[in-house]
Every structure is written in structure tokens, then in C-alpha cells.
Structure 1
Amino acid sequence: MLIGEVARRSGVSARMLRHYDSLGLVRPTGRTVGGYREYSPEDIRRIFQVEGLRSLGLSLSQIGRALEDVAFTPSALVTNLIRKTEERLNRELELLERLRTVDAAEPSGWHDVLRIIELLHGLGSQSAARRQQTVLAPAEDVSVPAELLAEAVLTETDPNVAGALRWALARAGSDGVAGVASGMGSHDVEVRRRAVLALAELPGDEATAVLTEALADADATVRRHAALALGARGLTRAVPALIGTVVEGPNDVEAAEILGTLARDTQWADRIIGALVDELTAHAGDSAVRMRLTQALAEMPGTIALTTLRQLARDDDRAVAIIASALVERLEERPDDEPGQP
């Protein structure tokens, strides 16, 4: 079969077939009287073998070795190809995200594009100080897009930079909610913790809905921050988790203050006090927990927890009794409409 027909049937150009011949990769076994290349069925089979290996990303030199060396084992080469392909895909994905970020910012000209790229480099810096500066003082008049802030807040490990990112996101309003909310589906608990902290500072029903779902998260820290945020928004569905926060700590003082605010609703006051009392009974042998619960009772509005605290002032646990006695004394001096102050 002559080269033109081989090219037509195989889909490999005549120019590439000549290149294969010059490299010794696929040499036709015969020549016509006129000197034209003539390919045998075996030659054509080798062409398809070469093309098959090329489709895996092998170079022509690697293909030559693979086809000629009978001792050649493909496992190491294939493993190396997998690694290089993954690296290339990661670079392509990074480029794709960068392009999406630029597009989302709706640049009006190349000047804006270059400024956004500068922001991307700043947020990707190895220096925490530079990352923080990029957030707090963006280049010229170009603000950091909310989508970029959301992506950065989910990966930032430095607490100061993370705080700056949350502040900048809050200034952007609800634009960054969807980006941050995506972090709540991560298998990495640290990502979910960063996400819930950011959502806690974002306004709107969308953020509230995601925080409500976070009350069922497998991680206690995520649940705690979600409850604190929801309780601060006046949502009583956070009460059970807030009670749990008082029991477990940390953030027990903040949780107690929020419970005191929620208890100003007379429909919830008795439920909250009852829940705190139930926990006192459930943790009869844990002095530290019962002390936190006792202090939380003092956060209830007016003097509605005074009777319970008087009973605790005679508690068998001396530490609890001392705290309760001091709180009773303070409550007895408090006007009925004065909110709890420890």
C-alpha cells in the first residue's frame, strides 16, 4: 500500500508518516520500482500502535523504546504520565478559575483585568502580611471580587488574614454567600469551620438558611458557631445548640448572653430555664459544667431565674453554691426589667 492510501485510511498525514520513517519509528518494508514507499500490513499495524501510544501522551522517543525494547515495562512510564497529566490538569483548572474570577469582576478594559490579576497574585502570596494588605488595601480603585474573597476565606489558615477576608466579605453584602456556602459541603472539617465563621458575618436569608443547616453538622465547632450566629439573629431554633455550648464550652459566656436575650420572649423563657435546669441534673457530678450552667441562669432577664439560683445556693457542690449565692445577691438588687449582667 502506497503512502497516500495509507494516509487516507489511517488518518495519519503523509507528512507525519515520512517523519516516522525518518526517525526509524515506522519504516515501510518495501519500495516500488519508482522508489515510492510501500507499506505492508505489518507496517500499518505498527502505525496504529504508534498512534495508540501517542494518544496516551507518550513522546515519539518513548514510543520507539516501548516498541523496540522487549524488556520494557510500562508501569513506571504510565505512572509518570499520570502524575504529569494531573499536574497539567491542575494548572488548567487554576487558569480556568482565574479566568472565571476576571470575568465575574466584569472588567471594563485591560487595565481592570491587570489589576484583578494583581489582586490574585497578592492573595496567592506566601506572605501572610501581603495577603492581608491585598484585602485591606486593594490596588487603586479595584475592589476584590466577592467570589475571590469567598474562595480565599475557605483556604486561609492565618487568623489575621482570615479575619480581614471575613471583614471584606461582610462589606460586599450577600454577594459572597454562595461561594462561602460551597465550603459547607467539604469533607475537610477545617474548610467547614472557616465557612461557618464567614457565614456568621454575612447578612441575608440565604446565609441564615445555610447556618441553619449547619446546626446538624457532624463537627461540634461548626454547630457551635452556627448556633451563636443564629441566636444573635434572634432565631430560637438555635436554643438547643446554645444550651449545648454552655454545657461543653468554649463560647459558653457568649451563648449564655444570647440565651438571655432570647428568653425575653416569654414563650421561650420557661423553656430555656427548664433546659438549663435539666442539664444541671444531668451533670450532677461535673462541677465545671454546673458552674457554667449556674452563671448562664444569671443571664436570664429580670429575676425570673432567682428561685432556681436560691436553690443552687444550697447545692451540695460548694463551688456551685458559692457562685449561686453571689448571683442571688446581685439579682436581688436588680430591677425586674434589667437584663442579666453577670
Structure 2
Amino acid sequence: MNTYSILMPFVPQRPERMLPYAALTQWSAAGRLWQGQAPANDPFQDFTHLAASGFRVPAGIGVTLMALRHPYQAAVQAHELAVCTGHPVVAGFGPGSLPFQRSTLAAPYRSQLGAVREYVHVMRELLGKGEVDHVGEHFTCRSGLGQLPRPPVEIGLGVLRPAMARLAGEVADVAITWLTPAAYIRDTLVPALRAGAQSAGRAMPRIVAMVPLALAGPDRDPFELAMLGSSGHTQLAHYADMLRRSGIQVSRDDPAGNAAALVDGHAFLYGDAAGLTVQLEEFFQAGVDEIVLNVTGVHMRYGDRASLEELDALMEMVTP
């Protein structure tokens, strides 16, 4: 079943700022509310705050960085969030950039894919069996996790390039993409996901696509909105490589040019309701199961009220 969800379009310095977005998720047809990684807050705690405030909405963590928590702690937090909300949780993780790993670890993971594989294994054993006995190159965990009745926890991986997609096909429940054009998902990521799943003898993971977009308006500049919402990602090496693979050329020295390239390459969607509906449908046709509406650019340019109105209009647009 194709689903639309909502992304928190800013980093909430105080968790109560998430409440209107949780309310919109609860009262609209949105499948879940998503929050990504941020330097000043923890998304698991933010969603727990929402549940304690009366907004028990399905939560998506996509993606948080592995270096910030041991896989045992990740399993505990994902388990507890499912208990608190009473809804299934998607707990998405990724290794992050090499500079970030250098800033938090003694050294970057020797093998990015090897570290991810171990991380998922420890989490899955704890969440599924309640115990794990793992001594690996990157992580060690010999412990148990108390089991309580709870909704399912899906383990997600941030997926940008074919090697990670193949690994996600082998071990993950959900493959989470960000800033990836629909054609790139169809032609590059889906075949790798399928190959990984087939090699492991399992079903292919669900695909969740975080899609930055904005409705056209007389006072709006799509290049400005793309730059405000996505220019930071174009400065990261792994995102730049993914975009080049998809045919979008970006440069560390030209944020404005990068924004124009994102719009022209359909990594950032812009148009009227009819045009956006067609562009979004291309993601489902490419194999995506859940589209997460990302209006970060609108929020950064126009603020909370505008981003809430934008998300409300987009949900009305895509709801049958």
C-alpha cells in the first residue's frame, strides 16, 4: 500500500515545537511523522515527549547516526518508543560521513558496510529474541533485553548508493533514501536491493523516500527553496557522489548552482498541485512504498505557519 508521511521540517530545539506536526499527522491521512538526526536533540526522546503530551503517533527515525549510540542502546530506545506510542516504529540508522565518524570515534569504521551489518545484527537479535551474543570487529554485545508486548519495530538503513542498497536488501526491513530522484531509485537502488534480498533468501525491504518539495506560488523561487532546504546535503561527499551517479552535478563551491541542479534533476520537486501529483506518482512507480513530504525549504523561508499549511495542502492533494 502506497503511503504518504510527514517530515519534521526543522530541528526542534524544544520538543513541544513538534506538537502541531504531531497533531497534523494524527488528524490527517499521514502514515507517520519522521524526524532525522540533529546535533542538539535526540529524536527518540522527542517522540516520547509527544506520546506523553497525548500525541501517540507512528514514529519514523530517519536516519540517526550509529556513532551516537551503541546498538544495544539503539534497541532499547526503539523498543521503548514502540511501547510508549503504541504504534509501529521505524528505527533508521546509518554510519554517517567520515568526518563525523572522526569527530566521535577513535577512528572511522574500517569497513562501513561491515559496521552496519554488525549494528543491525545486534539490534535484530535483541528486538527479536531478547538476547544476543556477538563479538565483532566493530561492536560487542553479550546481553539481554527485557521483552514487553509492543508493536513491531522495523530496522531501517539510510541508502544512497548501490553497495548499501545491496546490504539493506540482505539485512534491513526498510531502505530510507534522501534527495534521491525517482529514476535513480528505479534504475540503481531497486536492482541492488532486490539482488541483496535474493542472495539472503528474503523479501525486499520496503522503500521510504524523503522527498524535498514545494508548491509553486507567485512569490516563490524554487532554486531558493531548494538551496535553503538541501544545500547542506550537497556539501557531503556521499550525497554528492549519489547525485552525480543520478546525473546531477554538484560542487562544494556553488550552492546556488547545486540548488538549480537539484530542481532540474527532479531531486527537489516544484510545481502546482497537478504537477506535483504526477512527479510524486513517479516515486511509487519506481518502487517506493512510502513518500515522506519534506518542506524544509518552505519552513526555512517562511516559518512554522507556512510549513504547516503547506503540509496540510499537500496531504489534501494526495489523499483520495
Bin the TM-score by the shorter chain.
under 0.3
TM (norm. structure 2) is 0.24
The one of the two structures with greater contact order (alpha-carbon pairs below 8 A, sep at least 6) is 2
When Rg is computed on C-alpha atoms for both structures, the one with the higher figure is 1
More strand per residue: 1 or 2? 2
More helix per residue: 1 or 2? 1
